Amino acid sequence: MQAYFENRDSNAQSGQLYTLMMGVLGLAYLAVTIMIFTGWIALGDRANISRRDINFNEWAVAIGAGLLGIGALRTAWGLAQREKASWAWLQWMAFVSLLVGFAVAMSAILGTTQSDTLNLERVIIGFAGFGISAIVYRFAVQGSSYTPDQRLRIQLAESPSAGAIIGLVVILMGFSMASDLFLETTSIASILSNNATKGIIAIGITTLMISGEFDLSVGSVLGVTSMAYMIFMGEGFQGIGPLSFEQQPTVIAAILALICACIMGLINGILLVSTKIPSFIVTLGTLFAYRAIALVFIGGGRILRYRDYFPPPAEFPQVQISRWAIAALAITGAVFILVTAAQAIPQYWRRIKKSWASIKDREIGSVLALGVTIWSIMSVAALAIVFAWLSLVAYYHLDRVHLGATLGKGDFWLAVVLGLAGAAVIAGINLFPTWRKTKPGEAYSIPTGVTIAILWIVVFSLIIKVYNLKLSLSSPDESLPILVIITSLAFVHLALATFRQYRLARQQVVAAGEKVDSIPMSAYLRERGLLNIGISVILGLLIAFLFATAYDLFGNVDSPLRIGFFDVANGQWRFTGEQVTRGLIHLNIPDQANLRNAIAWWVILAAVFQVILFRTRYGNSVFAVGGNRGAARAQGINVNRVKVQNFVLCSFLTGLAGIMEVARNPGVDPLKGDAWELDVIAMTVIGGTLLTGGYGSIIGTMLGVLIFGMLSTGLVLVGMDSRMFQGVIGVIMIIAVVLNNTVKRSRN
């Protein structure tokens, strides 16, 4: 293979053979995608179901096969061009195909247990794919230093959650082969929804456990918080003196309940630090103590129900937000971006002059540079026009509602002028990479440029066609969706351009023979002031969203925005692709699929805590305290404070979970959250976090939560006695820990 890439013709045959094989493979994958869309391949039970309703499995397979097909074709092209990088591509494609072939064959064989006939074609195709890929792989990896499977193994060994990853894959594959129902939307939904709140608590437990402690009282804290929330919301609380509360609006009740949770965490932490008793004992004690609070307050077998306090004609609690506030926020953001961009005007002006000069000097590639420049200006101008438009529409709306003025023709031209001015300011951002290059292909190569252009055109025409949209001043409400979409896309484009610039600069540095390390991304972005642009991309998306909310795309402008608090906390997702895409995509979440908002909160909180743990000083001290208390102390870290903070944090997250639980099921019984602590600790341990502290990750814990959820749902689906569940969980937990240790040992 080496010889092939070094252009020695003696060995060209093998390269040509691989090129051919990759080409065929790519076409085969694409064929699968097409066949699924046209209905030639049906996955799952499809009797009497319209061909338009492609189910989730089919979507997944179609998208996966499509991506693999594109990858294989790209590899074939690279091989034909003797691109060095395509060798690694070839290895990966062969490796993935090997796995895919095996999976296809096995699922066909195992699937027979449920349908009567063995799907022989699929078995043969699967094994054929497996065999051929294995042979290709065997020869393609010859002489390379790191093969894909080695790389995977190294990656796995470095990850704290190796056991969890392996377990997740095995369990997922096992259950999906054993039961057709397992990959149904409803099953996935119940796995996620039923465990998202536990997942949120598990984040706190993971943090605590990394710092070398753990908390058995979370179940009781959850019970008390839920109860407190309900009591503050429903009947108020008669305490002593200032500790009495009237009945409170829902947000205040939630905040008070969270304060209760934090106090309970604080008590845990202070007890631990001041008495130096192991956290097992302390939190075992508070487990009982906090449970007693719930038992005393909800005496006599009572259950606190929201409906008992607010019988049916009353709605679930709602939060009102003034649209003025949202609009103000959006406009502030827009102004911020424009000011940031305006600061760079002189720099951009120099660049424009320089690129113009290069065109006049007839430098190689200058025409292409001009083309790309125009393209850049156009996309940025679109962005700026949309901004100006949004501002004007905002003005118009507020006017119409509150001042009675109307929008005239002059205002439209104002919008255009504003837009062009904004474009001139921001255009430089995209101009930057184009003038520097001296030969074609360094910035946007022609194929890339054309592809981007086609993609934009396709996306826009699709959106416009699907929504039957028009840009019209007389009915700004109708224009808004398209404006919002264009803004978002333009921002995405800007973000991509930013990263592209970084890559180009890096390549230039490498080409100049300097060390790559000498321009870290962050430094580059900061230096160019582009980090600001990155932030504005995020801000811009947010602004677009805020604008959309402020003008209420689908409703009334006058009234304040009303949001159901329970919906935000843990409402059910009702998404019908048909409605949103006007019949283009038949991707619906069935009503019986219980996907809830707690899942989103779980993912967001997990991401936030992953950053906190691995990228902040606080996180570093958490690891240090758990890994070597003495060393942490000797380096001036206040060990006790970190521990107390972690206990409070853990209880706070538990409190959040408690409120979400109430939002899902507005009733609290005194035993709410009973025995949850054990589930949550099991999830965390499965995820690879060490009980002794100093090691672990939030992502591992998330996998642990998923494993836990898949087992609880999957065992029922395969018809196992649900009472066996706890036993299985116990065994799995031990296996996961053993696996983690084995992988870790193999690394050292």
Partner 1 sequence: MGNRRSNDTPLVDMRGIFKFFGRVQAIRGIDFHVDRQEIVGLLGDNGAGKSTLIKTLTGFHTPTRGQIYFEGRPVNIDSPFVARELGIETVYQDLALVPLMSIARNFWLGQEPTKRFGPFRLLDDEKMGEEARKALADVGITIRNPHEEVGTMSGGERQSIAIGRAVYFGKKLLILDEPTSALSVGETRKVLEYTRTAKARGMSVIFITHNIGQIHQIADRFTVISHGTKVGDFYKDEVDEEEVASMVMTGEVPERLRIIREEEMMV
Q: Which residues bind partner 1 (CB under 8 A)?
A: 517, 520, 522-523, 535, 611, 615-617, 620-621, 623-624, 627-628, 630-638, 694-695, 748
State the nearest-atom distance from the C-beta of 625 to partner 1, in Å: 9
State the nearest-atom distance from the C-beta of 127 to partner 1, in Å: 42
State the greatest distance between any 2 C-alpha atoms of the chain, in Å, as a whole number. Answer: 94
Of 123 and 624, which CB lies nearer to partner 1 in the complex structure? Answer: 624
| Exposed e or buried b per residue across 361-384, where buried means at least 16 C-beta atoms within 10 angstroms of its C-beta | eebebbebbbebbebbbebbbbbb
11 CA to centre of own chain: 45
Of 369 and 546, which CB lies nearer to partner 1 in the complex structure? Answer: 546
Of 694 and 714, which CB lies nearer to partner 1 in the complex structure? Answer: 694
Q: How many helices (H) and strands (E) does the chain have?
A: 29, 4
Of 459 and 516, which CB lies nearer to partner 1 in the complex structure? Answer: 516
Are 181 and 628 in contact by the 8 Å Cβ rule? The answer is: no
Are 735 and 688 in contact by the 8 Å Cβ rule? The answer is: no
- DSSP code per residue over 142-197: TT-SS-HHHHHHHHHHHSTTHHHHHHHHHHHHHHHHH-TTTTSHHHHHHHHHHHHH
Of 64 and 619, which CB lies nearer to partner 1 in the complex structure? Answer: 619
State the nearest-atom distance from the C-beta of 614 to partner 1, in Å: 8
Q: How far apart are the first and last CA of the chain?
A: 33
Looking at 616-724, list the stretches that DSSP marks H as alpha helix, in order from N- to C-terminal side.
617-627, 629-634, 639-664, 676-686, 698-717
| Exposed e or buried b per residue across 191-227, where buried means at least 16 C-beta atoms within 10 angstroms of its C-beta | bbbbbbbbbbbbbbbbbbbbbbbbbbbbbbbbbbbbb
Of 365 and 619, which CB lies nearer to partner 1 in the complex structure? Answer: 619
Of 128 and 631, which CB lies nearer to partner 1 in the complex structure? Answer: 631
State the nearest-atom distance from the C-beta of 652 to partner 1, in Å: 19
State the nearest-atom distance from the C-beta of 332 to partner 1, in Å: 15
State the nearest-atom distance from the C-beta of 627 to partner 1, in Å: 4
- For the chain, what percentages of helix, strand and coil (3-state, to nearest 5) are there? 75, 0, 25
What phi, psi does 439 have (nearest 5°)? -135, 155
Of 128 and 523, which CB lies nearer to partner 1 in the complex structure? Answer: 523
Q: How many residues does the chain have?
A: 748
Of 248 and 621, which CB lies nearer to partner 1 in the complex structure? Answer: 621
| 3-class secondary-structure state, position 470 | coil
What phi, psi does 7 have (nearest 5°)? 70, 25
State the nearest-atom distance from the C-beta of 102 to partner 1, in Å: 34
Residue among 676, 697, 673, 694 nearest 686 (CA): 697
Residue among 695, 731, 515 nearest 613 (CA): 695
DSSP structure class, residue 588: B
Of 559 and 638, which CB lies nearer to partner 1 in the complex structure? Answer: 638
Cα–Cα distance measured from residue 551 to residue 545, given in angstroms and rounded to the nearest whole number: 10
State the nearest-atom distance from the C-beta of 631 to partner 1, in Å: 5
Of 364 and 523, which CB lies nearer to partner 1 in the complex structure? Answer: 523
Of 472 and 522, which CB lies nearer to partner 1 in the complex structure? Answer: 522
| 3-class secondary-structure state, position 439 | coil
